[in-house]
């Protein structure tokens, strides 16, 4: 086997002797041959005991149909890639661009001029066609060792050539690269223009697909799939990102399956792809599961016991996707009192007392809150104000009554020095509405003539 412009050429010379009863012989050299994928193989045999005049037809084959050999030239898998030549006692088979599917046992058969008489040199030559693979082994925490591998041992091995992103960088049996490298490495036989090994490289950024891609409803079966271009093939891990910076490991498979997805499964997910050469993380995917409203909760401000004239605000909230709309009802009433998340009652009166509830509704369903009792206090604010203002008025009246009693006693003390008609006049004057306070009454008593 030697390099050439068109690839490697493998020459097979027969030495093993296969002899028939008539003395016909075909000499095969090697029974097992290894050739590089894409190379050219040339097989030839040495026959004896067979006169050229006895041969009507000769061809090579690997398959039989209905017990008869199939000429390689008529096999579609070899179309345009095989050629036969014979010179003297030697016959040649040329196969170009050999493929891994061409690994088979090749035999030469002769058709003679005697009807029904033929001869096949058997067993034939077994050809194994190999490609090249880069094997990755971690040598330490920062370095990897790459080796070029073939499935069979090549004859006259010329050594290997190494390529980085398509450019030849080194010849040798192995190559050391740093862990986490984003470059692509491949190998081939040195001096060989045929097909190189598949390149090895770390994962590209993974992509995530969701099935079904339509909206998700509670109870549906949902599958998330992580995929990344990588060689060797990547291993996958699924995580769910919590509201904090923590992440929760869910699966170490390419697919994350929810057989019956729930509202609690809503959230942000991501996956990682990793092989020996590196690791990459996908973007977040947001999962929103549609579900009907959970039982609403109601808050009251300022409280559930109101005074007449107060203002009270009720707020309804329910977990739902999509967001719920809200309607307010009073118990035993068919017509709603209000719509919207917030319900405000201004100027509260006794008629507003009773049980209230809200209804949350979206396209997935509806749910009612528990009853909320709002009552009126036994004493309203106006009554309380009157009670507060009556106390100082009573005190004033008591003081006035006390002063009046004192004045009456003083009047009786001086009544003995006055005429009866004067005393009556004084009393009448005291009760006249024009006297606004006791000080005016006292001044009048001291100077009665001036008053007249």
Tens of pLDDT along 2-16?
A: 433 344 444 443 333
Q: Is the pLDDT of residue 418 over 50?
A: no
Using left for φ > 0, alpha for ψ between -120 and 50, and beta otherwise, residue 290 falls in beta
Q: Is 174 contained in some domain?
A: yes
Measure the CA–CA gap between 225 and 236, rounded to whole angstroms. Answer: 10
Are residues 125 and 17 part of one domain? yes
Confidence (pLDDT) at 7: 46
The pLDDT of residue 339 is 94
Give the pLDDT mean for 294-323: 87
125 and 159 in a single domain? The answer is: no
* Helix ranges (DSSP H) in 229-380: none
Which of 275, 290, 305 represents a domain boundary (last residue)? 290
Judge whether 383 lies within some domain: no
Whether 178 and 231 map to the same domain: the answer is: no
Of the listed ranges 94-108, 262-276, 279-293, 297-311, the one predicted with least confidence: 297-311
Q: Are residues 423 and 372 in the same domain?
A: no
Mean pLDDT of 244-260: 90
Q: What is the CATH number of the domain that holds 222?
A: 2.60.40.10
User: What is the residue range of 323's domain?
Assistant: 297-376
| pLDDT, tens digit, 9 for 90 and up, residues 173-212 | 899 998 888 899 999 988 887 788 999 999 999 999 999 8
What value does the mean pLDDT take over residues 416-436? 40
- Whether residue 172 sits in one domain with residue 254: no
Whether residue 156 sits in one domain with residue 113? no
Does the pLDDT of residue 106 top 70, yes or no? yes
Cα–Cα distance between 298 and 356 in angstroms, integer? 10
**Percent of residues, the chain, with pLDDT higher than 70:** 73
User: Is 4 within the bounds of a domain?
Assistant: no
Report the pLDDT averaged over residues 299-325: 87
Quick one: pLDDT band at residue 402, thresholds 50, 70, 90? low
Statement to judge: residues 19 and 110 lie in one domain: yes
**Rounded CA separation 132/153 (Å):** 11
Of 431 and 340, the structure prediction assigns the larger pLDDT to 340
- Do 123 and 55 reside in the same domain of the chain? yes
Give per-residue pLDDT as tens, 42-92. 887 766 556 666 777 889 999 999 988 999 999 999 999 999 988 777 788
pLDDT of 410 reads 61
Q: Which pLDDT score is estimated for 310?
A: 85
In a domain? residue 381: no
**Do 106 and 46 share a structural domain?**
yes
36 touches 193 (CB < 8 A): no
pTM for this one?
Answer: 0.60
DSSP 378: S
Q: Which candidate, 62, 25, 73, 65, places its Cα nearest to that of 45?
A: 25
Same domain, 176 and 144: yes
Residues 356, 314 contacting (CB under 8 angstroms):
yes
Residue 337's pLDDT band (cuts 50, 70, 90): very high
Average pLDDT, the chain: 79
Burial 83-115 (b: 16+ CB within 10 A, else e): eeeeeeeebbbebbbbeeebbbebbbbbbbeee
């Amino acid at each position: 086997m030697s390099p050439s412009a068109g690839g490697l050429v493998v020459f097979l010379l027969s030495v093993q002797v296969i002899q028939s009863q008539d003395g016909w012989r075909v000499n095969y050299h090697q029974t097992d041959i290894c050739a590089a994928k894409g190379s050219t193989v040339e097989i030839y045999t040495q026959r004896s005991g067979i006169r050229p005049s006895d041969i009507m037809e000769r061809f090579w084959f690997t398959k039989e149909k209905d017990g008869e050999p199939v000429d390689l030239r008529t096999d579609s898998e070899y179309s345009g890639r095989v050629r036969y030549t014979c010179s003297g006692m030697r016959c040649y088979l040329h196969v170009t661009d050999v493929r891994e599917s061409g690994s088979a046992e090749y035999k030469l058969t002769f058709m003679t001029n005697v009807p029904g008489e033929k001869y096949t040199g058997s067993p034939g030559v077994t050809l194994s066609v190999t490609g090249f693979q880069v094997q990755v082994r971690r040598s330490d925490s920062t370095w990897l060792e790459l080796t070029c591998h073939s499935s069979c041992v090549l004859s006259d091995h010329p050594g290997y050539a190494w390529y980085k992103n398509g450019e030849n960088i080194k010849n040798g049996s192995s190559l050391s690269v740093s862990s986490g490298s984003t470059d692509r490495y491949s190998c081939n036989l040195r001096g060989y223009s045929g097909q190189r090994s598949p390149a090895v490289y770390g994962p590209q950024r993974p992509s995530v697909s969701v099935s079904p891609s339509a909206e998700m409803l509670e109870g549906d079966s949902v599958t998330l799939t992580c995929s990344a271009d990588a060689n060797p093939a990547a291993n996958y891990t699924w995580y769910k990102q919590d509201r904090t910076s923590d992440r929760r490991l869910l699966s170490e498979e390419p697919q994350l399956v929810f057989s019956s997805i729930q509202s609690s499964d809503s959230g942000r997910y991501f996956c990682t792809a990793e092989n020996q050469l590196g690791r990459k993380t996908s973007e977040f995917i947001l999962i929103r599961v549609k579900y009907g409203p959970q039982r609403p909760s109601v808050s009251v401000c300022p409280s559930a016991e109101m005074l007449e004239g107060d203002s009270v605000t009720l707020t309804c909230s329910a977990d739902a996707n999509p967001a719920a709309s809200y309607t307010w009802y009073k118990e035993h009433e068919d017509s709603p009192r209000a719509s919207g998340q917030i319900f405000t009652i201004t100027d509260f009166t006794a008629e507003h007392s009773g049980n209230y509830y809200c209804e949350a509704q979206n396209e997935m369903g509806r749910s009612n809150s528990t009853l909320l009792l709002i009552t009126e206090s036994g004493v309203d604010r106006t009554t309380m104000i009157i009670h507060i203002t009556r106390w100082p008025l009573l005190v004033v009246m008591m003081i006035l009554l006390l002063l009046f009693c004192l004045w009456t006693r003083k009047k009786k003390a001086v009544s003995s020095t006055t005429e009866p008609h004067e005393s009556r006049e004084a009393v009448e004057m005291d009760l006249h509405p024009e006297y606004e306070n006791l000080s005016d009454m006292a001044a009048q008593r001291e100077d009665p003539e001036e008053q007249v």
